[in-house]
Amino acid sequence: MTGDRPAIPERGVGGRNWILGILTSIYLVNFIDRQILSILLPQVKAEFDLSDTFLGLLVGPTFAFFYATLGLPLALLADRVNRRKLIAASLALFSAMTITCGLVVQVWQLAVARVLTGVGEAGTGPASQTMITDLFPPERRGRAQAIYATGANLGVLVAFAAGGVIAQAWGWRAAFIAAGLPGLLLTVLLLATVRDPQRGAHDRVKPHDDAPSLGAVLSQLWQSRAFRYTALGACSTCFTSYALGSFFPSFLARSHGMSTADIGITMALIMGACGGLATYAAGHFADRFGRNDPRWYSYVPAIAALAPLPVAPICFLAQDTGIALAAAIIPLSLTAAFIGPTITIIQRLVPVRSRATAVATLILIDNIVGLGLGPQFVGIASDLWKPAFGEDSLRYALLAAMAGSAVSVFGFVMAARHLRADIATREAASQASASNG
């Protein structure tokens, strides 16, 4: 058990808001390094003469498999060791590998560098999210997790806007190098100004045992129907979100003839600016309504998954660029809205010293299905339908990927039905364990 430590102040360097800002910045550069390849796909495709199927493999499974599977052992480590040091080591690795992506001369080298980027990024998420939970009381966690989640939107904003401009001016290699440098600076700032908060500092039940084994955590999660349905909703959302995030720039280039720089600015405004507001709003409303009824932590992601479905056909099938972009605002801006509420509720379903492992389990499912299969599905479908539809085959492949959002609505609504009972069961078990201890 972690001993008592001096309370972390609210403001100032090293305070709660400062730490939240640093962790959000790390998530931001995480997504810059993850998403920068999407805006560069047309140039990478042209240089190495690649098919859409291979592009889907490069942007999806190559990264996702190692990112997701290594997340579990690194999360087990995060439940046991100093999380700040783990995050720093992971951040330095994936930043260095992003720079390496800009130095490769063969496509297999790019694939290896992307694998190692995924390895590095696997160590940051669960550790950061559990640190945030330990920094804030329960009634503020949805908003705090949503602020952290906006790092994804801001990272997309920078990746698309700056990445598009840099790639058009100096080539895709320069964009990779520029994307990797900020993470190295953040590593130094993290180590110099942040300390690991006390675990369970704001929880009614304090951690009283050593961190449980992976098998014990997985057993706890499997017994929770709320977790199973939440995982279904989250991974289905990720399937659609990563499919759109990976191939929408290529869709705008092929079907609407937009330049790389214009695509970058457009994607930055929609997924970055509008998306950041939507992601924060999701956490805000989940906290506001969830004070009296925790099911809102599932209802909010369900609404975010439902809203894009009516406008998706307009977005992908409209011939007019302005109409397509206007219709794209809702689907693209809601891609990360589920993160804050979902992470908040997942951590309520397990004991304090199981939280990083629980988050990593959800990330494993989300990324194998979402990042691993979403872009790959679109790439394969686009190639298969190209004889019939030509360059517009990507329109129909992206529209088909919206099926993930429909499944997501079902998953989150079903999770809400079991949420209150599963939370009560977990809290009663923790109280009994604390009393026996």
Determine the Cα angle at 95 with ends 268 and 347, to 5°: 75
- pLDDT band, very low/low/confident/very high, at 219 (cuts 50, 70, 90): confident
Q: What is the pLDDT of residue 212?
A: 73
- pLDDT band, very low/low/confident/very high, at 301 (cuts 50, 70, 90): very high
Q: Residue 379: pLDDT above 80?
A: yes
Long-range own/partner contacts, residues 378-383 (CB < 8 A, 24 or more apart): 378/52, 378/56, 378/243, 378/246, 378/247, 379/51, 379/52, 379/53, 379/54, 379/55, 379/56, 379/57, 379/60, 379/247, 380/52, 380/53, 380/56, 382/52, 382/247, 383/51, 383/52, 383/53
Specify the range with the lowest mean pLDDT, choosing from 128-142, 170-184, 400-414: 128-142
Q: What is the pLDDT of residues 147-158, one digit of tens each?
A: 998 888 888 888
The first and second tokens of residue 271, run together, are 């997924």
- pLDDT band, very low/low/confident/very high, at 139 (cuts 50, 70, 90): confident
pLDDT (average), residues 323-331: 95
Q: What's the burial of 340, exposed, middle or buried (CB within 10 Å: 0-12/13-18/19+)?
A: buried
Q: Residue 202: pLDDT above 70?
A: no
Distances 290 to 141, 282, 337, 409, 425 between C-alpha atoms, Å: 11, 11, 16, 18, 18
- More confident site: 119 or 329: 329
For the stretch 122-158, what's the b/e string if a residue is b when 16 or more beta carbons lie within 10 angstroms of its beta carbon? Answer: bbbbbbbbbbbbbbbebebbbbbbbbbbbbbbbbbbb
Q: What's the burial of 176, exposed, middle or buried (CB within 10 Å: 0-12/13-18/19+)?
A: buried
Alpha carbons within 13 angstroms on the beta-carbon side of residue 217 total 25
pLDDT (average), residues 360-385: 87
Q: What is the pLDDT of residues 63-95, one digit of tens each?
A: 777 777 777 788 778 888 889 999 999 999 999
The first and second tokens of residue 434, run together, are 């604390």
Measured between its terminal Cα atoms, the distance across the chain in Å is: 12
pLDDT (average), residues 277-299: 91
Q: What is the pLDDT of residue 1?
A: 38
Average pLDDT, the chain: 87
Among candidate residues 433, 394, 84, the one with its CA nearest the CA of residue 252: 394
Percent of the chain exceeding pLDDT 70 equals 93
Q: Which of 7-11, 95-99, 274-278 has the highest mean pLDDT?
A: 95-99
Q: What is the pLDDT of residues 404-422, one digit of tens each?
A: 999 999 999 999 999 999 9
pLDDT (average), residues 379-390: 92
Q: What is the pLDDT of residues 17-61, one digit of tens each?
A: 899 999 999 999 998 988 888 888 888 888 888 888 888 777 777
Close Cβ partners of 64 (under 8 Å, ≥ 6 residues apart): 118, 367, 368, 370, 371, 372
pLDDT (average), residues 332-358: 86
Percent of the chain exceeding pLDDT 90 equals 42
- pLDDT band, very low/low/confident/very high, at 372 (cuts 50, 70, 90): confident
Q: What is the pLDDT of residues 95-126, one digit of tens each?
A: 999 999 999 988 889 889 988 988 888 888 88
Q: Could you give the CA distance from residue 232 to residue 230 in angstroms, rounded to a whole number?
A: 5
Q: What is the pLDDT of residue 336?
A: 86
Specify the range with the lowest mean pLDDT, choosing from 87-91, 189-193, 242-246, 408-412: 242-246
Q: What domains can you pick out in the chain, each with its CATH number?
A: 16-200+210-436 (1.20.1250.20)
Q: What is the pLDDT of residue 430?
A: 64
Q: What is the pLDDT of residue 150?
A: 87
Q: What is the pLDDT of residue 207?
A: 52
- pLDDT band, very low/low/confident/very high, at 367 (cuts 50, 70, 90): confident
The first and second tokens of residue 166, run together, are 């840099």
Q: Could you give the CA distance from residue 252 to residue 394 in angstroms, rounded to a whole number?
A: 10
Are the beta carbons of 321 and 376 closer than 8 angstroms? no
Q: Residue 200: pLDDT above 80?
A: no
